[in-house]
Each structure stands twice: as structure tokens, then as C-alpha cells.
Structure 1
Amino acid sequence: MTDHLARLNPAQRAAATAAAPVLVLAGAGSGKTETLIRRVAGLILGGEAPDRLLCITFTAKAAGEMRGRLLALLGPERTPRWVGTFHAVMARLLIEDGGGVPGLPRGFAILGQGDARELLMQAGGLRDAKAAGLLQEAVSLLKNGLVADPRRLPRSGAVARFEPEVLAQAAALLPAYQTALAGRQALDFDDLIARPVLAMQADPALAAHWSSRWAEILVDEYQDTNHAQHALVRLLAGQPGRVFAVGDDLQAIYGWRGADVGHIRRFRKDYKAAPAPLKLETNYRSTPTILRAANAVAAEDPEALPKLLRPADPAAPPGAAIVIREVPTPEDDGRAALAWVQALRRRLPELPWRECAVLVRAGFVAEPILAALRQASVPVRLVTDREPEPPKEVLATVAWLRLAMSRGDGGRWDPAADDAFRRACAFPARGIGGALFGRLREHAAAGGLALAQAVATLPATPKERQGLEAVLGVAGEIAAGVARRRLGPADALRLAAEASEIAERLAPGGRPGQAWAAMLQAAAEAGSVAAYCDGAALGAMPGEAEATDAVQVMTLHRAKGLEFDHVLLAGLEEGVWPHWQAEQQGAIAEERRLFYVGVTRARHTLQLGWVRQRRDWAGKPSRFLAEIPKALLQGAAAPRPSRAGTAPARPVTPPSQAETDRLVAEFAARQAARAARAAR
């Protein structure tokens, strides 16, 4: 590695080498992940120990990508272990070093959303699953707000989603729910962050102890932090705040679930030693026309941190004009989307289906579009907001491999794999009941041992001991097979499935088989079995296999972080986008940011669609359509239904380069004036 910064532009290089604390304001498509990875490489090549770096992002997929790129750049010996989501890295920290958190059970279980909801229903005597789901979201809001009293929650869009009665009921139910969790010796996902934060706030010695572990904390997508996550980063960073934060306030779109865009905008107030934000404004994704549209939308947010997206090649042609398409009904919307895809494929026969994306604000907007595409036998993939958890068969197989690889050379088992041991004992069933496991946990805690290590000295009946030792025997077989045959991660998983007798449940077809295929594909890219097990421990596991080639239809929240050659934003009507509740909840700015995210997903062409009559109300074009400069638009008459579907749009002459340059110059001047006023 002659120069790990060679691929970076000057702004990226400055960000990768700046002293922390520092905020990097990274525009869409500006190479922020590459910059963060090169910074990690520079720190390690400069002598920093990999385990002294904590790299946090928001999704298991993003964490897996980051880990894979670091592995390819640095090799397995120098790749940091602490790369993962907020919840995953804190789960690991609590497992390895959670003794200072009051009441934290050793070998605690982590409940998924479904199990946590069932426990909440039991604690509150609830029978209505839908009502329980709403209460679970309200409980989550209280935990992430680090309060038990709804009156202490700051007013926000997330709070406005709930009726006061729902928040009051959640607060009343919270103590019983926490007692039920303690009885199960379990934490839910929110506890993984809230409990250590509250413990550190109450015990400065614990905060100092944990803070001393890290030379630097690197946080991607900083604009998406909620109150608990923000407090966690500040506590772990210590003084003067060894934080390298990367994000874009214009892509803050999760306020409805508790994220606060103010965290990124107030970064210098939190970290007094931080300089002015460094900016990554060179966009490597979109055409100049699309970038000018995005900048115009951004200019409508008076509180946005000043930033101007620029094309990587200043001499690049402007690209295709943006099309606004108006249709009479949702059925026409579906036919028009089909015509859009078919026209692209006729013009570009080699274009992969997956490079065409239909992005929507609300799921019902996608229904007629999906129907039209499927009826025409166009391959299509629907991606919803909720990413499913892998099936229990897949999770158990991964647990068996993690358990097998957790025994060190000295024969001692690693307590970080306690959760894997628990899952291996439970599936496939081996007669190891809750009472036996509870005794094992108490025995392990008394001796400061890993659960697997404690089996040897546990007072137990011959039958009980036989069941526990059988689990360890299978784990030993897996470990020996991996070492003897020098297996890679995917083959090691296959061996774990066979040895644990789960393989027959993972046959192709059905959801377990699909998720198993996705897991094997991810494992094949992990590099080594040890690296894969580390990643799996931190939650980097895909839920579903992706379609090989299909038109992507998804909500905007799932599209964040993705990019496509050709994008259609559908459902741009008042009441749909922006959502009708946004006005009363004070969330119009976030709806605009969602529009900005949609615009910046497109590389080459962008269409914006709205419907005049949807269901039983007359549609009006979204206010956001008027924020796109007319000079960037291709004229389009309202399509009229015909026997063949909808009529094609009527094109007009695209704007001249001089006209678009004038608009950009005016916009840049407004941005500079706004920045000057903000500085005063």
C-alpha cells in the first residue's frame, strides 16, 4: 500500500487526515464511506491499534460493507473488530465488559422485535397485537429519549405521532415490562443503548473506563442519531471528544422514529474543539441537471448547513432534463411506469432491470405500479421499510459456528459467545429447559466464567449434563472440521448446518432456504471464518436474498444509501408527499429532505409523477415540484388515457448551458448570503 490516500480528492484527503473532533458534511454521492475507510487505514498504518478504533453505522448491511472494504485494504490482522451498528457494538461491549452496569445479567438474552412485543403484551395483559405494536413503538421512544415520563420528551415529530393517551399508557406499562425483561434475563434492542448510557451518566468512573478503550470513534450517518445514541457517542468519546462524524443534515429523514437533525447541526456546540465542518461537495453520481435540482430543493431549507453539490467533471454535459408526469388515476400511474421502463429498455437494450427504480413515499402508491409491471411480466422486486429478521434456522446455524470458533487455544470458551451458546442449546431442541439454563447462568456468573466453560463444573444430573455436553461436543466437531479442512466462511457454515442437523431445514424454496442463500453469499465475501464470526456477532447478517435483476420498487426510507441509473419518484401529491400529517406535526422540512434524498438517488434520468384523482380525493401537485427550476424541466402535457394506456409526454427543448449556469450562480450566491447571516 504505497499511498492509502491516493484515490481521494483534496477535500476527501483533508477530511481523512483532520484531527478529531471533526464533522464532515458529506453531500450525496460524494464518497463519504471511502473517506471514512481511508481515515481508518491511515490511523492504523500510523501505529494505532485496530482495537482502539470504534466504527459505528446504522445498518448491518452498511457495517458489513465497511468491514469488507477494510478487510480488503488492510488484511485480517489489521482490520478493526469494532465495526458495526450502534446496537451490535453495544451488545458486544456489554457481553465483554458490562460488569459496571447495575442489574445486567451475565449471559443476557437479546430479544428481537417479535419476542419483545409478546413479552410486552404479557406484562400489560394486552390481546390486540396492533395496539401492542403501537405501544411498543411508544415504549421505544421513551427509552431512546432516556425518560420514563412522556412530559419530559422534547416536542418533535416522533412525539407528535402518538396520542397523549398512548404515551401515558406506555409510561405506565414500562416498569412492568422492564420487570418482565429482568425475569427473562433479557434486554430488548433499546436497552442495549439506553442502559449503558444511564449507567455511565450515573457512574463517571464507568464512563471513564469505557471511554479509555477508544482512541477515536468514527460515526457514519451522524444525522440519524437519536437522543440515546447521541448521548452514547458523547460519553464514549470523553474529553476533548475523539469523534470523527460523517453525515448530511439534508438526508436526515428519520425524525419520525426519534432521530434529531439538530445533533449534526449543533456538532460544534457539543465538541468545542471542533473546527468548522469540512465539506465533501463533489458528486460522483448524478448529472449536472439532477445536481442543480437537488441544490434548488436544498435552498428551500433555511436551517440547512450550507453545501453545494458539484459534478466531478465541470465540463460534463448537463444530461437529460427532468420530466414531471401528470396522470389521471392510479391505474394510469401504473401504465405510465410500465411505459417508462419499456421505453428505457428499448433505448438501452443492455440496461439491467435493477437500474430502474420506482421510489414512493407511501406503500399504497406502489400497488398499481407493481400490478402493471407484473401483468406485463416485467421482473420486479418490492422492498419495504421493515427488513425481516433471518429465520431461526439460519440464526441457529450461525450461532453454532460462532460457538465452535469461540474456544481459544488454551481450551477456554469466550464469554462473548454466550448468546450463541444459548441459541445452540435451544435449536434444534435437546431437552435443555429454562430452569437448567438459569442454574447454569448463575453458576457461570458466580465463577466469572463463560456459559460453555461453566458446564464442566455445574452441579447437574447425568441427563442434564449429557444434554449440555452434547452441544459442546457438536461445537468441537465443527471447530475441528473447519481447522482440518481449512474451510472458508461459507463452507464452514455448511459444515455447521450439517453437524447441528439443521441442514435439512434449509433446503431451497421457502423463506429459510432463501435467507440461507443470502447468508452463504454474504459469508463468501467475509474473507475468513474469524472475520465472519466477528461480523455475525455484531449483527451483520442479511435477511433476504436479493433478486438478481428486477425493477426496484421501494419506499424512500429504504432507498437511502442506494443509487440507480434511472429513477421515478411517484405519488408527488399534496397529502401523500408531503404526508397530510406533516403540516400539523411540523415535519414539512423532513418531507422535503425525503424528496431531496429521492432526487439524489438518480444517476442519469429522473421522472417525477403525480396523480390527479387518487381513491376518493382529488390530487394536487406536491409543493416540492414547484421547487425544481423550470429551466431544468422537460415540458409534459398531462397524459390522457388511450386504448394502449397513457399518451407519451410531449418534449420541449432542454435549457441551455448558459441558462443553467446562471441559475446555479444565483443559487450559490443565496447560499453564501445565508451562510454569512448564520455566521453573524
Structure 2
Amino acid sequence: YPEITPPSISTTFETHPGIVALAYNRHAAVQIRRRLEELIGDDAGGVTVLTCHGLAMRLAGASFSGRLERSDNPPDNNAFRDVIRRAVDVLQGKGLPKAEADARRDQLLAGFRWILVDEYQDIDADQYDLISALAGRTREEDAGKLTLFAVGDDDQNIYGFNGASVEFIRRFEEDYNARPSYLTANYRSTAHIIAAVNAVVAPARERMKAEHPIHIDRARENDPPGGPWETMDPVARGRVQILPVDGSPLSQFQAQIVMGELLRLKELAPQWDWCRCAVVARAWTWLDPVRAFCEARGIPVQMGNEAIPSVWRLRETQALVAWLRNRTPPVVDGATLETWITAQPSGPWYALLQQAVADYKLEAGGGETTVAHCIEWLAEWSRDVRQRQQGLLLVTAHGAKGLEFDHVAVLDGAWNHVRQGEDPDAQRRLTYVAMTRARHTLLLARFQQAHRLQDGLARHPAVLCREPIPVQPPSPAMEYRHIRAELKHVDLGFAGRRPSNDPVHAAIAALSPGDPLKPRIGSSGCLELLDATGRVVGRLAKAFQPSTGMRWRSATVLAVVVWSRAQSEPQYQPRIRCDSWEVVVPELVFEPEGREARF
């Protein structure tokens, strides 16, 4: 929000240094910190940037790292919702006399005078209560209330299925007697993309910006509407393209048409970078054929749903944590962290930790922090880390939120599906989010049927409706499926049921991410994983089975995680024969049954 952030933050900082900014997740918090550094320099150090969960954990005296170490660490966010409720109780002084409750709140929030909440349209009821308690909304007297500044866009409210409610931002004026300012300048997309986006979202009901459509920023007002691609592309001339899709199976033909168009654009751009491109879909299944297309043709590709298998428990993360805990005295600074990470072997997970170190240096500045603080920060960072893009990103519209790309293709399929808790305009807003990720070019695939979200674009001057593009029948490789196993898919106690001097531990220790594995069905009926010497180094859980009609084709080491007796469920502990061990987590490739086995 460049048009208001520098003067408002700078002016406020001069008289009220106690500013706290609340972000939706750790990734967003890092982005806010980076933006503040760019805008106000050293004054950014006076702004505390936290996630709602991070603030709640501090207020409630809870620990991210402690929770991640427990065997009953839940797979969902219910535990963190409980922490937010506990934080609200603390701020409201539940069970205390009013005077004592007010005194406790003032002590907890000493030094804070201003609150900035980013992505306010995505808060849920618990976060609303936390922000309300922070601001002192229900206090009768003004003394002790904090000034609240919320930034949000009701057109980007897309998490209704997860409890977020657009009603909170719509009633913000009433809740806080606030004055709205409309931040409608778009600093990202071309004028053609902006025009198409406005046409898609305009029919949505109860929009706060209905009379204030987004527009290109002042510095680019005289640019060609299609941006640089107006002259680079003789076909689309910078317009948004609608690509018709026909054929069976639809998903595979769609993948070929969309990727064929991206490859055509690539030939027009000498500096093309797949790391600046994305294919966005409503659901993950529509992206599988796109990945298969890229894998078969050597196009670097990355699936946005490839959950990193418990970043906290990765071998590499635990090595960092162990090094931190052994430091004397127990303090660390960014430069020391950087020296340590630079000395580690190459690999995807140490590269991921390099991101963590860079983010921590940004947040901590140049000074030392305690080891305990660093570990706690790392534990929170590991909850919602985003791996740096290393190729064409395949992602859902929900997963694309907060990202931007030079070139975006939006797949058709399932856009009429409304989840429980969503209103009828939820998919229109989701389409708005998907389209606004694009900077230079935007492709919209369309099946040959009615499409209420695209119908208004057919004759729009910013849009080119292409004629059907002929493609060859899909190759067999388009049917391959690449699956990253999750911890719930793996027999976590496989190596733990063997003594510490068993050769399996050395065999696992010798493995690195990317090493080939040979899958086979063991005597128990579970899939076993063999290393290059033929030793069994892991096993999948019985519950993990390939999709109907598919079988194992190949496997590689995705990651190695550290597990322990203390993290194991009580019913499994009698069979454990060592205190800690490593677990191989594989990445698997499936192919349709009936083909020659490639094991």
C-alpha cells in the first residue's frame, strides 16, 4: 500500500513508537518487515511484526517448539484456536475484578499504542475476538484503548470454508467508529488485466469497493494497456486470453493447450524464467496432468501442495536446533546463523533453512537474540513455510493468495463448486484472486460449456477469445502421478524397532534427498523401500494405497526426518529399542496398471 504507508507509519513513529503489525501468517509477516525496511529504513525496527498466532502464544505463555515436540501434536489448527481463546481470556482478565483485569491488560500491552492488522477480511471469529481485546473495543473509557488500523479487501475474502468471515471487515466502521480509505491503485497488473478482473468481480453482491474499482497506479497510467507484451506478442497483443478446451480426457487436453500457449510465449521472451510463472486451478487434481506434461518435457515444475514433511522434524532442522542448544553463551545473531548454514552440505532442505536464516536476519536486525527466542521463531516459521519457487508453480487459487507472477494461466474445472460455509459469490472472489496474481500475461482456460464467471468477458475489449487450438492426443506420460508421502503415510517406527547398532541406521544416515529407492510389496502387504544396496530402509503404512487402477512406478528420497521415543504414541513404545532414529519419507511416481513394470 505505497500510497499511504510511508507517511502514515513515519509520522506515527515519531510520536507513538509502540506499533504492532499483525499478519495472517509468517510468510506475510516477513513480507511486511521487508516492505517496512524499504519504506522507512531503520525506523522499521520500532515496529513489532507478529502473526495472530504468534502474539497469542506470547500472551498465553505457550510454546510453538514445545507443542511440535509432543507426540499428540494435532494435525489441525484446533490447538492454536484454543491458544487464541486463552490469550483473549488473559487480555480480558477473565475471572478477575475489573480494576485488576484492566491493570493486567495495561501491563501486557505496555508500550503498544497502534495496531495494524493486515488481510482483515480473512480473520475468523477467534482472531476477531483477539483483535477486539487488544484494541480494547468494549472498554467504556478511551484511556487504555489502542488505535486500530485494518487493511483488507472484501473482494479477496476466500477462506469462508475455514471460518473466516467477510462480515468482520464490513462492520469495521461500526465496531470502531472508523473512517474508510480506499486503496484502489494496482501496482502489479497491466491495464488489460485490471479491466478483465473488474469485469469478473463486479457482479458480486455487497461489495465495499463497488463504487471504487481498482485501477492502474499513477506512474503507469501512460503505459500501453497491454504492457510490454502489447508489442512483444503479435497474437494477443497483451490482452487476457481465453483458451477453449475440448477433447477427452478434458484435464489432459487442457494441460496440453495451456502449456502449449506458455511455450509459445516463452519463444517470444529471451529472458523467460519459469520461476516467474504459475498455473492456477480450483482444485489440485486439475494440476496433475500439467505436472506430468512438464516432467516429460524437462520443464522445471513445482507443486504448491507438496507439503514439506514436518519442517521442524527434518534432519536438517534438527541439526540446526541441536547446534543452537549447544551454544555457550546461549545467544546468536544473524551473521553467525548465516556462517553455520553456509557450511552445511547442499540439498533442498538446507536451502530451505537458508530462507529461514535470511528471514530471521531481517526480523532480528543486526543484534543478538537468545537461543530460546531463535528456536521459538524457527518453530513458528516452520508451521507455514513456503518453499522458494524453483520452476513453474502449480497451485490452487487459495494457495496463490499473496503471490505474484509475470505469467499466469488459470485452469477451468470445478469453479462452480461452493464449499460449506461459503456464500454464492465465493467462487467469483476466488477467481478474482487467481487473476490478480498476474503481472504481464493472463490465460484463462475454458471448457465448451456455460461459465458464469467468464461469460462477461466474451466481448470485452481487454480480452481475446482464441479459436480452438489443435493438439496431439495426450502421451502415456500424461497419466503419471507424482505423490509426496506425508508422515501419516509412513511407518514412523520402522527403524526405531531396531537397536541403535543395527545396520539400518547407518544405511538411512547415508541417504540424501533425491537418492533413488526401489519399492516392493513386503510380506506384510506394505510397500517397502530399498536403497541402492537392496537393504530395506523404510516402509509405508498399511493405510497408504495407490489410486484405483494405478501402481508404483518409481520412488526417491524426499526427506529424512528425526523421530524419537518421546514423540511416539504410548501404544507403540513397548516395541521401541532406541531413543531416537531417522525416518525415510519418499516421493512416489504412479503409472496406470497394465504397463510393463519399471521397478
TM-score range, shorter chain: 0.5 to 0.7
Taking structure 1 as reference, are residues 641 and 353 closer, same or farther at Cα in structure 2, changes over 3 Å only?
A: closer
Amino acid at match of 1:295: N
Q: Is the 8 A contact 1:57 1:84 kept in 2?
A: yes
User: Which of these residues, 290, 295, 301, is aligned with residue 380 of structure 1?
Assistant: 301
Greater fraction strand? 2
2:16 alignment partner in structure 1: 48
1:261-318 superposed Cα distances (whole Å, 9 cap, x missing partner): 111111011112x12x101111111122211111122211121102211112333322
1:299 aligns with 2:220: no
CA distance in structure 2 between the aligned counterparts of 1:361 and 1:257, rounded to whole angstroms: 16
User: Which of these residues, 301, 307, 328, is aligned with residue 476 of structure 1?
Assistant: 328
* Bigger RCO (CA 8 Å, 6+ sep): 1
1:565 alignment partner in structure 2: 406
User: Which of these residues, 281, 288, 293, is aligned with residue 184 of structure 2?
Assistant: 281
Q: Cα distance, 1:569 vs. partner?
A: 0.4
1:269 alignment partner in structure 2: 174
CA distance in structure 2 between the aligned counterparts of 1:588 and 1:271, rounded to whole angstroms: 28
- Identity value in percent: 27
Q: Cα distance, 1:636 vs. partner?
A: 2.0
Q: Cα distance, 1:642 vs. partner?
A: 3.6
Greater fraction helix? 1
Q: Cα distance, 1:540 vs. partner?
A: 4.2
User: Which of these residues, 615, 625, 639, is aligned with residue 469 of structure 2?
Assistant: 639
1:528 aligns with 2:356: no
Q: Cα distance, 1:115 vs. partner?
A: 5.0
Q: Is the 8 A contact 1:253 1:593 kept in 2?
A: yes
Q: Is the 8 A contact 1:391 1:515 kept in 2?
A: no
1:374-401 superposed Cα distances (whole Å, 9 cap, x missing partner): 2111111211285665233555566568
1:609 aligns with 2:514: no
1:217 alignment partner in structure 2: 115
2:540 alignment partner in structure 1: none
SS at structure 2 position matched to 1:280: coil
CA distance in structure 1 between the aligned counterparts of 2:276 and 2:253, rounded to whole angstroms: 22
Q: Is the 8 A contact 1:55 1:217 kept in 2?
A: yes
Amino acid at match of 2:467: A
Q: Cα distance, 1:82 vs. partner?
A: 2.4
Taking structure 1 as reference, are residues 83 and 639 closer, same or farther at Cα in structure 2, changes over 3 Å only?
A: same
Taking structure 1 as reference, are residues 492 and 478 closer, same or farther at Cα in structure 2, changes over 3 Å only?
A: farther
2:266 alignment partner in structure 1: 345
Residue pairs, 1:218-617, within 5 angstroms: 218-238=116-136, 239=142, 242-272=147-177, 274-275=178-179, 277-306=180-209, 307-312=212-217, 313-319=220-226, 320-327=238-245, 328=247, 329-384=250-305, 389-392=310-313, 393=315, 395-396=317-318, 424=325, 474-477=326-329, 479=331, 489-492=334-337, 494-495=339-340, 507-509=345-347, 512-523=349-360, 525=362, 527-530=365-368, 537-538=376-377, 539-540=380-381, 543=385, 545-548=387-390, 550-571=391-412, 573=413, 576-579=414-417, 581-582=418-419, 586-611=422-447
CA distance in structure 2 between the aligned counterparts of 1:590 and 1:318, rounded to whole angstroms: 28
1:614-660 superposed Cα distances (whole Å, 9 cap, x missing partner): xxxxxx44320113352232122333444699xxxxxxxxxxxxxxx
Q: Is the 8 A contact 2:64 2:376 kept in 1?
A: no
Taking structure 1 as reference, are residues 598 and 352 closer, same or farther at Cα in structure 2, changes over 3 Å only?
A: same
1:546-590 superposed Cα distances (whole Å, 9 cap, x missing partner): 244x1121111121111112111002x4xx1122x44x7553311
Taking structure 1 as reference, are residues 630 and 641 closer, same or farther at Cα in structure 2, changes over 3 Å only?
A: same
- Structure 1 spans left out of the alignment, 5+ residues: 1-30, 96-103, 121-132, 141-187, 403-423, 425-473, 483-487, 613-619, 646-680
- Give me the TM-score of the superposition, normalised by structure 2: 0.65
1:39-82 superposed Cα distances (whole Å, 9 cap, x missing partner): 333322x1323xx2111001211212222343455566861362
1:628 alignment partner in structure 2: 457
Taking structure 1 as reference, are residues 248 and 230 closer, same or farther at Cα in structure 2, changes over 3 Å only?
A: same
Taking structure 1 as reference, are residues 595 and 108 closer, same or farther at Cα in structure 2, changes over 3 Å only?
A: closer
SS at structure 2 position matched to 1:528: coil
1:190 alignment partner in structure 2: 81
Taking structure 1 as reference, are residues 644 and 269 closer, same or farther at Cα in structure 2, changes over 3 Å only?
A: closer
Taking structure 1 as reference, are residues 565 and 119 closer, same or farther at Cα in structure 2, changes over 3 Å only?
A: closer
CA distance in structure 1 between the aligned counterparts of 2:422 and 2:200, rounded to whole angstroms: 18
Residue pairs, 1:19-34, within 5 angstroms: 31=1
CA distance in structure 2 between the aligned counterparts of 1:387 and 1:255, rounded to whole angstroms: 25
Taking structure 1 as reference, are residues 220 and 68 closer, same or farther at Cα in structure 2, changes over 3 Å only?
A: same
1:94 alignment partner in structure 2: 60
1:314-358 superposed Cα distances (whole Å, 9 cap, x missing partner): 333221222211222221112112212211111112121122210
Taking structure 1 as reference, are residues 109 and 531 closer, same or farther at Cα in structure 2, changes over 3 Å only?
A: closer
Q: Cα distance, 1:233 vs. partner?
A: 0.9
CA RMSD of aligned residues (A): 3.3
Q: Is the 8 A contact 1:401 1:478 kept in 2?
A: no
Q: Cα distance, 1:490 vs. partner?
A: 4.4
Q: Is the 8 A contact 2:334 2:360 kept in 1?
A: yes
Q: Cα distance, 1:110 vs. partner?
A: 4.4
| Between 213-222 and 35-44, the greater mean CA deviation after superposition | 35-44
Would you say how many aligned residue pairs link Structure 1 and Structure 2? 436
CA distance in structure 2 between the aligned counterparts of 1:295 and 1:108, rounded to whole angstroms: 41
Amino acid at match of 2:55: V
Q: Is the 8 A contact 1:211 1:235 kept in 2?
A: no
Taking structure 1 as reference, are residues 342 and 395 closer, same or farther at Cα in structure 2, changes over 3 Å only?
A: same
CA distance in structure 2 between the aligned counterparts of 1:374 and 1:521, rounded to whole angstroms: 30
CA distance in structure 2 between the aligned counterparts of 1:555 and 1:80, rounded to whole angstroms: 36
CA distance in structure 2 between the aligned counterparts of 1:321 and 1:308, rounded to whole angstroms: 19
Taking structure 1 as reference, are residues 395 and 600 closer, same or farther at Cα in structure 2, changes over 3 Å only?
A: same
Q: Is the 8 A contact 1:383 1:552 kept in 2?
A: yes
1:107-152 superposed Cα distances (whole Å, 9 cap, x missing partner): 796424x957x366xxxxxxxxxxxx6xx56xx3xxxxxxxxxxxx
- Structure 2 spans left out of the alignment, 5+ residues: 137-141, 227-237, 476-599
CA distance in structure 1 between the aligned counterparts of 2:456 and 2:369, rounded to whole angstroms: 47
SS at structure 2 position matched to 1:218: strand
Q: Is the 8 A contact 2:256 2:293 kept in 1?
A: yes
CA distance in structure 1 between the aligned counterparts of 2:369 and 2:182, rounded to whole angstroms: 33
CA distance in structure 2 between the aligned counterparts of 1:611 and 1:364, rounded to whole angstroms: 16
Q: Is the 8 A contact 1:566 1:605 kept in 2?
A: yes
1:418-477 superposed Cα distances (whole Å, 9 cap, x missing partner): xxxxxx4xxxxxxxxxxxxxxxxxxxxxxxxxxxxxxxxxxxxxxxxxxxxxxxxx3325
SS at structure 2 position matched to 1:608: strand
Q: Is the 8 A contact 1:518 1:544 kept in 2?
A: no
